[in-house]
Amino acid sequence: MKIILKDFQKNPTNLLRQLGYQFQHHTSNNQMSFIYPLSQSGFPRFHIYLTLLENNLIFNIHLDQKKYTYGKTTRHHGEYKNEDILKKEIERIKLFFKSNS
C-alpha cells in the first residue's frame, strides 16, 4: 500500500522512530527500510520502504505475517491490501505525520 505525503519538511526517520519503527537498512534503489514488530518474535511486523523525492515522502507499507521461506523459490508472506490492521496502521501514520508537519 502506498502513502504519499507532499511538501514534507521534517526528518521522517526521527518521526518513524517516535512511532516505534526501527531503521533496518538502505536499499539499492535509494529507499530506507523500517520495521515495526508486533510481537517479541519479530513477526508479524509492519514493513515500510520510504523514499524521499524532492519534498515528498513516499511510503510503501505492508504487513509481514511471518519470516520469508527459502527453498527452490523464495516466498514472501506479506499483506499489501488496505484492510483491517494495515488500514489502522496507515491511519495512525497519516495522523501522526500530519500533526508533526
Q: What are 22-55's pLDDT values in tens digits? A: 999 888 788 999 999 999 988 899 999 999 988 8
> What is the number of structural domains in the chain?
1
Dump pLDDT digits (tens) for 5-14. Answer: 998 888 999 9
Which has more pLDDT, 61 or 55? 61
Q: What pLDDT score does 89 carry?
A: 94
Mean residue pLDDT across the chain: 85
pLDDT in tens, 72-83: 554 455 555 656
Q: Residue 42: which domain range?
A: 2-99
What are the backbone dihedrals phi and psi of residue 2, each rounded to the nearest 5 degrees, phi first? -110, 135
Three-class DSSP labels, 39-64: CCCCCCEEEEEEEEECCEEEEEEEEE
Average pLDDT on 61-78 reads 65
